[in-house]
Amino acid sequence: MKGMTIVICNYNYEQFLAEAIDSALAQDYINTRVVVIDDGSVDSSRAIMEGYGTRIKSIFKDNGGQVSAYNLGLESVKTDYVLFLDSDDVLYPGAVTEVMLRFERSDVAKVQFRLDVIDELSRCTGVYVPHSGIDGDCRKLLLDGWLYPSPPASGNAYCVSALKKIFPVPETGMNRYGADFYAIYGAALVGAVSNIPRSLGGYRVAHGNAQGVSFANSDQTDKAPKAFTSRWVTLREIALRRLGTQLPPNFHDFAHEKAYFWSSVYQAPLSTRWHWLLRDSHAYLHTIVANPFWSLKKKIGTLMLSSLCLVPYSPIANYAIRYICNPLARHRAD
């Protein structure tokens, strides 16, 4: 029986760490190992990890960021497959079993599954990510610059041999975080992707982030677009050097563009919103109109909602922007 290692990367998440570890240990797939990497936490994480004794493999390191934790985690894995679980997220019972069935049925580099968005008390919000999925070879899409629909870190499991063609990722001052970006899109350059269209885990969004533009706990709204651009540059370098694959200079991704959209027009004066439309909206509109993953109905609906940002009555405009950018923020009062 092939094995799965769940690697939990933790930094100062004592509030949620035990729940993440418990969800990993509760998996019914017999050959499942649990490794917890603490990235220099200064809270009570160490004591929590030590309380599990030999039920988990604990690794303690100096703080170096998520990229360094992924690099070390992949180096420590002895199984054929790995799942990187964020320490504030959870896996549902049976998740690993379903994932392993997919790996056994087909030769893929990555299996992905939906995640329910949960709050600080682990209650489901009624929202899940991603809203669409894709099966098969995503390499051609990446070569055309399109980032395919994928869940956040905890919703992905990988063939270790595929990831080792991408990792280790350079650990630089500007590249401490976003390790899941390299895993998600790097793995798809190596092999096919299999999508499980139902939720097998929970993705936690803190209250403060629930009001923001995206579900990315690791990136602030104003930093996320620049971070994605920097990561794409690094992925291009890795793909060329290790795979002999030439990725285009720029990428297309609606999640990325809506962060710019949000920061440019949300709660902005009407003149600023019109300026965005006339001068800065090309990339945003392109990721809607040319999006290879969306139906015509979704494209038209998103364009119509986007046009409401030009309504002079700001409550309507801001509601439309929130509706597009983050379902959890739709009911926020202005």
Following DSSP, what letter does each residue of 202-218 receive, concatenated? EEE--HHHHTSS-S-TT
pLDDT at 294 over 60: yes
Please give the structure tokens belonging to residue 24. 């990993």
d(CA 223, CA 135): 30
pLDDT in the model for residue 221: 45
pLDDT cut 90: percent of the chain above it: 83
Q: How many domains does the chain have?
A: 2
pLDDT in the model for residue 201: 98
pLDDT at 100 over 70: yes
Last residue of a domain, one of 193, 214, 243: 243
pTM score: 0.91
Q: Are residues 306 and 205 in the same domain?
A: no
pLDDT cut 70: percent of the chain above it: 92
- Predicted confidence (pLDDT) per residue in 104-161, tens digit: 999 999 999 999 999 999 999 999 999 888 899 999 999 999 999 999 999 999 999 9
Please give the structure tokens belonging to residue 98. 């379903």
Q: Are residues 260 and 232 in the same domain?
A: no
The model's confidence at residue 223, banded by pLDDT at 50, 70 and 90, is low
Nearest-Å Rg of the Cα atoms of the chain is: 20
In a domain, 234, yes or no: yes
In a domain, 248, yes or no: no
Q: Are residues 58 and 179 in the same domain?
A: yes
CATH assignment at residue 150: 3.90.550.10
Contacts 24+ apart (CB under 8 A), 126-132: 127/327, 127/328, 128/199, 129/155, 129/203, 129/215, 132/293, 132/294
In a domain, 249, yes or no: no
Which tops the pLDDT comparison, 111 or 329? 111
The model's confidence at residue 216, banded by pLDDT at 50, 70 and 90, is very low
> Residue 158: in which H helix or E strand, if any?
strand 156-159
Q: Are residues 160 and 262 in the same domain?
A: no
Residue 6 CA: distances (Å) to CA of 31, 78, 90, 225: 11, 11, 11, 29
When mean pLDDT is compared over 3-17, 201-215, 222-236, the highest value belongs to 3-17
Q: Are residues 231 and 274 in the same domain?
A: no
Q: Are strands 81-86 and 124-129 parallel, antiparallel or unpaired?
A: unpaired
Q: Which residues contact 117 (CB under 8 A, 6 or more apart)?
A: 124, 125, 127, 128, 129, 202, 203, 204, 205, 215, 328
Q: Are residues 45 and 183 in the same domain?
A: yes
d(CA 81, CA 96): 10
- Predicted confidence (pLDDT) per residue in 226-282, tens digit: 788 899 999 999 999 999 999 999 999 998 999 889 999 999 999 999 999 999 999
Please give the structure tokens belonging to residue 317. 């405009």
Cα 113 from chain centroid? 11
3-state helix, strand, coil in the chain (%, to 5): 45, 20, 35
In a domain, 166, yes or no: yes
Please give the structure tokens belonging to residue 93. 């019972």
Q: Are residues 83 and 198 in the same domain?
A: yes
Last residue of a domain, one of 243, 277, 302: 243
The model's confidence at residue 213, banded by pLDDT at 50, 70 and 90, is very low
Q: Are residues 83 and 155 in the same domain?
A: yes
d(CA 314, CA 190): 47
Q: Are residues 134 and 280 in the same domain?
A: no
- Predicted confidence (pLDDT) per residue in 188-202, tens digit: 999 999 999 999 999
Q: Are residues 124 and 272 in the same domain?
A: no
Please give the structure tokens belonging to residue 205. 């969004």
pLDDT in the model for residue 207: 57
pLDDT in the model for residue 145: 96
Q: 296: domain range? A: 254-329
Last residue of a domain, one of 180, 210, 243: 243
Q: Are residues 150 and 12 in the same domain?
A: yes
